[in-house]
Amino acid sequence: MSALLSRLLQFLLTVWAATVVVFALMQVLPGNAAQVAAGLQATPEDVARIEAEFGLDRPLPVQYLDWVGGMLRGDFGTSYVTHVPISPLIADSVQVTLILVLASMAVALLIAVPVGSTAALLRGRAAGAVLSGLSQVGVAVPNFLAAILLVMVFSLGLGWFPSSGWQAPIEGFGGFLSHLVLPVLALALVQAAILTRYVRSAVLEVLREDYLRTARAKGRTAAGALAVHGLRNAAIPVITVAGVQLATLLVGAVVIEQVFVLPGIGSELIRAVQNRDLLTVQGIVMVLVLMVLVLNLVIDLLYTVLDPRVRSRS
Amino acid sequence: MSRPILLTAALAAVGLLAAGCSAGSGSTGGSGGGETRTDIVIAHTAEPTNLDFTTTSGAAIPQALMENVYESLVRIDQSGEVQPALAKSWELSDDRLTYTFLLDENATFSTGDPVTAEDVKFSYERVVSDDWTNALSAKMDIIETIETPDEHTVEITLERPSNGWLFELASLVGAVFSPDGVGDLANEAVGSGPYTVEKFTRGQEIVFAKRDDYAGAAPGTLDEVTFRYFGDAVAAANALKSGQVDVIGSLQAPELTAEFEADDTKQVIEGTTNGEVLLSMNNAEGVFSDQRVREAVLHGIDEQAVLDTAWGGKGTLIGGMVPPTDPYYEDLTDVWPTDVERAKELIAEAGVEGESISFTVPSLPYAQASAEIVAAQLGEIGLNAEIETQEFPAVWIEQTMTEKDYDMSVVNHAEARDLLTVFGEGYYTGYDTSRIADTALAADQGSEEEYVEGMKEVARTITEDAAAGFLFLFPNLIVADAAVTGLPENAVSDAFAISGLGWSEG
Amino acid sequence: MSAPRSAVEALPDPVAPAAPGPASPTASRRSRRADLTLVTGAVLVGLVVVLALVSFVWTPYDYAAPDPAARLQGVSAAHPFGTDRYGRDTLTWIMMGARITLLVGLIAVVIALVVGVPLGVLAGMTRIRWLSGLVMRGSDVLLAFPALLLAIVFSAVFGPGTVPAMCALGIAAIPAFARVARSGTLQIMSREFIAAARTANRSPWAIAVTHVLPNIGGLVVVQASVAFALSVLAEAGLSFLGLGTQPPTPSWGRMLQESQQYLGTAPELAIFPGVFIAVAVLGFNLLGDGLRDRLDPTLRGRE
């Protein structure tokens, strides 16, 4: 129990440190935020007005506390550039990215588990080597390249799916799915290649365990033994890796969001960066960082539950 | 679970995804089906951050809202002429100071209220108040008084005669608002135009719905028009190819036109814009304060080659700051013929062989493409142009435009009739405005004929002073489903007018 | 061996997991496989390195000299990889692009290594609990900033470019190096010769330099290879977004991005940069895997 508490405390400390880092990074930015927001014909009075309106003339610690306090209440402030409240924008775009990333991970696992297990079982044979080789190549393909190719084949060539865009599920589930297929595949194929290699290692590891050898000695085939006894054990590292990869995907999806013109949080981040919309950048970065930290916490807790070695220690 | 089962499960899941979708995808062009479509989807590049151009600058908001949702008293037609809009006619007094506009008495706001002279007065007084922070509002500073003798008559008196003002009035500064409709401009647009904003999804699309109660001059034909925003030209082109959009309002990847031209189901329209792609040089400071060096650059550059490589040969060479749709256009391409030998001589005369120049380039496709080829051509005449890419808008506007920390840059000046701004006092070109100021003022105050002649002289002086290079006039490349009709060929005003759009029968 | 402290730490690095040597094949066969991987990786990486090195003394054409007459020529004897919209030779650009690819990877890895390894060793060797705690918590905070996110933020703060990109990628990779170095160090510290050195009153510096660093060197090299591959991918992605290397500097990611509008008419413009990005990433990944398998005995000891 105390271990859990200390892990939680650690988590909160890390989150706090991250807010300081994010806030500090934004202060390094060249140029005055109000000047940037006021645009090019702005007079000094315009700049001063914006500074006053958004409280940029206050001391930094006050601004920091105000920002953090706002976030605790779920309020990320109002953009100086677009005059739009930031919280709803983040809420909407996070949904898109989460759907994209979770669906991709699910599809990636659906591909990686069978392929990786097969590669492990066929180890030493030509087919196994081919599968391993394919996964190596898959890891090396940038996901935006995969995206471009998928669009060429399945959208422009075959006309099966739209080439870009997003439709919310409530506006029609069919349209929602059809817009989702290509971006999900673009992310999932490359993820699957990464995960396949972990699944393969994990399964190989399990195959060497004594109980599986016993099972095989009792006349089961390797695949049968694995299916009955092994997969659960092999699952631990794979789930852990999938969790870690999810964190990478949250941000990595930005490239795919751009190719497919999806209104995800990555697209919003790029847009905010281009507009020098600092408060929005700050808010989005903080949300992404928080999601990564939460994910890491969940993985750790899950790991403690799943792995007998760690459990027995605490 | 055994391996084959897992594999089947995986395939099934993918298959399910695939099957679920085909239902939702694919809208076919209007030409195919029996019934003519009443909706259209248009792809645009620059997306509006909100719906309020009174406080937010940029071309995206007026492009969507002017003429469609908001109307001014006048508008600019496809050949660049001023035409009636909310005002069905107008008269100019003999002293050229007072315009008397007669309003269209059938005009109503989307709230149902009639458009009255009071609304016009309210709107134009608001432009010069603190409520408008868009810098363009300065165009209305010239107004001295606004009178409303009756409900449908507006008399606007200027401080001094101005030929340019009526034209400016057609832009966003002339938009007429309802006094009840300015509470939440960023999200709610209440205007007198043929369409209303039905739905605005920031960063994605604007859906316009036709107003059935519109009784003005330009009623809409299609019931629903959608502007969908694509930051990336290739994504927009893909969307057109796969039938998700029907029109690309302005194709930003000219190399793609060849593919569409070869496709019978698509039409490619090449019109003009007000956008002069300017090779700006810092006249005020550094190596280009020497006119000989600027002349050398203009002799050294082969504009046709720049256009061919950078923008697929789409565009027009104009040699000056005035597009052919303006009344005072004149072909100035022969002022500085490409002459590398002469350029080298001038460079030698000025003693700047091998000089390094800071070439700040905004991160925009046409600018980066033009800059690479220009830099190579300058290398031929002995100038070493060091390209520095600056993020547009943020960095370029700060460093090049505001701080004027540059020798050379390249950017599309897209505003209408902007030569006096671009070569005006304090602007980043650093041009010596005393060369044109008197002529320009006299032209603005003179008769229409004097205006045209005077402005021609101004434009010619600017070109002859080698104040900047004029690479090409930016093309308006529209690509659309072949059945779409009524597309605005030239982008000569703020607006992308949608009221004339339709589908051809059969 | 000590059980992993957290899930993340227990993992092999996320991208290039070892193919653990199983019990069945013989050791020699295993090392033959490792060699094959190693050699393939080395050859691919070597190819990229050679392209980059040769570009300093010779390229088929001048990369900065457009030739409008020769634009979009397709694959030919004069231009084996074709020419781009400016009439520039694609092979020349691939060679010049190899430089940026390697430079970004190299600088990123050096930053991560120079900062991460000493911190990791410190955390592993120190007996001051709060000090090692501080290092590891600091690395936790950094871990919350995925490489691409940090790079995007850097491009906002410092403007887009190669330098901010490689710094961001390097900083983001520090935690991985620190963790590898720490776990390697912890292992070494439990060995008897360290205890002997300590009783002999040798300074921590001396122990670190003579015993720890040489022993964790292999691990670090493997990590470096993986980080290299990641950096190459990340730089390509950033340049694709327009936030990485800026014109006129040749970069594979940007070549790929610019080639998009020619996919229908001149696909070779996309194919070559795409293939070379994949070659570089594959090369470094295989190199890492091969090295890891070579160092198998040490690695096996970790579990």
Q: Which residue in the set C248, C262, C263 is minimally distant from B372, CB to CB?
A: C248
Query: What is the pLDDT, as a whole number, of residue A90?
Result: 92
Between chain B and chain C, the number of residue pairs with CB atoms below 8 A apart is 54
The whole-chain average pLDDT of chain B stands at 88
Domains, chain A, in order of start with CATH, read 2-86 (no CATH), 91-306 (1.10.3720.10)
**Best CA proximity match to B282, nearest among B413, B406, B374:** B406
Judge: C7–A302 Cβ closer than 8 Å, yes or no. Answer: yes
Nearest CA in chain C to A307: C7
> Residue C2: pLDDT band by 50, 70, 90 thresholds?
very low
How is residue B465 written in tokens? 């002073």
CA B317 to chain centre: 18
For A259, nearest residue in chain C (alpha carbons):
C241
Size of interface A-C (CB pairs under 8 A): 164
Nearest to A156 among B56, B228, B242 (CB): B242
Residues C4-30 have a mean pLDDT of 43
* Nearest chain B CA: its distance from C228 CA (Å): 26
Strands B247-248 and B39-44, bridge-based pairing: parallel
Backbone angles phi, psi at A112, to 5 degrees: -70, -35
Q: Do A161 and B21 touch (CB under 8 A)?
A: yes
pTM of this prediction?
0.83
**Best of C254, C259, C261, C265 to disrupt the B interface by mutation (most B CBs within 10 Å)?**
C261
Q: Which residue on chain C is closest to A300 by alpha carbon? A: C7
Model confidence at B496, pLDDT cuts 50, 70, 90, reads very high
Residue A278, token pair as written in the block: 């600092």
- pLDDT tier at A309, thresholds 50, 70, 90: low
Q: Which residues of A touch C23 (CB under 8 A)?
A: 208
Angle at alpha carbon of residue B268, lines to B267 and B270, rounded to 5°: 150
* C159 closest CB neighbour out of B237, B258, B395: B395
The dihedrals phi and psi of A160, each to the nearest 5 degrees, come to: -75, -40
What residues contact residue C26 under an 8 Å CB cut-off, 6+ apart?
none
User: What crossing angle do the helices spanning C162-189 and C90-125 adopt, rounded to 10°?
Assistant: 40
Q: What is d(CA A188, CA B112) in angstroms, rounded to the nearest whole number? A: 52
Pairing between β-strand B356-362 and β-strand B384-390 as defined by DSSP bridges? parallel
Report the C-alpha gap between B238 and A260 in whole angstroms. Answer: 10
pLDDT at A31 over 60: no
- Minimum-distance CB partner of A84 among B9, B202, B402: B202
Q: Is B235 on the interface with A (CB under 8 A)?
A: yes
Q: Do A292 and C144 touch (CB under 8 A)?
A: yes
Indicate yes or no: CB of C20 within 8 angstroms of CB of A205: yes
| Whether pLDDT at B6 is above 60 | no
Task: Please answer yes or no on whether C140 and A201 come within 8 Å at the CB atom.
Answer: no
Contact predicate C280/B401, CB 8 Å: no
Give CA B29 to chain center in angstroms.
Answer: 28
Kindly state the tokens that stand for B468.
């900047």
Angle between helices A143-150 and A173-207 (to 10 degrees): 130
CA angle C159, C109, A281 (to 5 degrees): 30
Tell me, yes or no, if B398 comes closer than 8 A to chain A by beta carbon. Answer: yes
Type of residue numbered B150: D
What's the rounded mean pLDDT across residues B75-93? 92
The pLDDT value given to residue A2: 74
Predicted pLDDT at A212: 63
Q: Is the predicted pLDDT of residue C10 greater than 70, yes or no?
A: no
Chain C: residue whose CA lies nearest to B361: C247
Angstrom distances, CA of residue A218 to CA of A222, B367, B390, C24, C104:
11, 73, 70, 19, 55
DSSP annotation string for A190-244: HHHHHHHHHHHHHHHHHHTSHHHHHHHHTT--HHHHIIIIIHHHHHHHHHHHHHH
Mutation target vs B (from A89, A109, A156, A164; most B CBs, 10 A cutoff):
A164
CA B277 vs CA B306, B396, C279: distances in Å: 11, 15, 40
The reply to whether residue B308 touches residue C68, judged by beta carbons under 8 angstroms, is yes
CA B206 to CA B211: how far, in whole Å? 15
Chains interfacing with A (3 or more CB pairs < 8 Å): B, C
Confidence tier at C30 by pLDDT (50, 70, 90): low
Q: Which of B174-178, C1-5, C138-142 has the highest mean pLDDT?
A: B174-178
In chain A, residues 48-77 whose CB comes closer than 8 Å to chain C: none
> Within chain C, where are the H helices?
7-10, 27-57, 90-125, 129-143, 147-158, 162-189, 192-199, 204-207, 213-241, 252-258, 268-294, 296-300
Spatial contact of C85 and C93, defined as CB atoms under 8 Å apart: no
Q: How far apart are CA B432 and CA A245, in angstroms?
A: 59
Interchain contact A295–C (C-beta under 8 A): no
Q: Quick check: B325 and B274 in contact, CB under 8 A? A: yes
Q: So what's the architecture of C25-58+82-300 in CATH?
A: Orthogonal Bundle (1.10)
Enumerate domains of chain B plus CATH numbers.
273-475 (3.10.105.10)
> What are the angstrom distances between the C-alpha of A135 and each of A141, A197, A226, B3, C15?
10, 7, 21, 18, 11
Write out pLDDT tens, residues B196-206: 999 998 888 99
Tokens of B443: 């032209």
> Residues A223-274: pLDDT tens digits?
666 666 666 677 777 887 888 888 888 888 999 998 898 999 999 998 888 7
The helix/strand/coil state of B326 is coil
pLDDT at A37: 65
C110-152: pLDDT as tens digits: 999 999 999 999 998 888 888 988 888 888 888 888 899 999 9
pLDDT at B38: 93
CB atoms under 10 Å from CB of A26, counted, come to: 18
> Sorting pLDDT into bands at 50, 70 and 90, what band is B118?
very high
- Between chains, do A83 and B186 touch, taking CB under 8 Å as contact? yes
Of the partner residues B256, B259, B372, the one whose CB lies closest to the CB of residue C86: B372
Mutation target for C interface from B363, B396, B398: give the one with most C CBs within 10 A: B363
Residue C4: list chain A partners with CB under 8 A.
310
In angstroms, rounded to a whole number, what is the distance separating the alpha carbons of residues A209 and B111?
76
Per residue in B184-193, pLDDT (tens digit) is 898 899 999 9
User: What is the four-CA torsion angle of A18, A21, A23, A25, rounded to 10 degrees?
Assistant: -140
- Give the start-to-end residue ranges of the domains of chain C: 25-58+82-300
Is the CA virtual torsion A101, A107, A108, A109 positive or negative? positive
Chains touching C (3+ CB pairs < 8 Å): A, B
Residue B503 pLDDT exceeds 80: yes
Q: Does B130 touch chain A (CB under 8 A)?
A: no
Nearest Cα residue in chain B from A229: B1
Which candidate from A159, A180, A259 shows the least CB-CB separation from B26? A159
Task: Give dist(CA B56, CA B380) in Å, integer.
Answer: 43
**Is B363 within 8 Å of C64 when comparing Cβ atoms?**
no
Confidence of residue A1 (pLDDT cuts 50, 70, 90): low
Nearest chain B Cα distance for residue C15, angstroms: 23
Out of A156-160, A292-296, B18-22, least confident range: B18-22
Residues C8, A244: C-beta atoms closer than 8 Å? yes
Residues 251-280 of C with CB under 8 A from B: 260-265
C-alpha B240: how far from chain center: 22
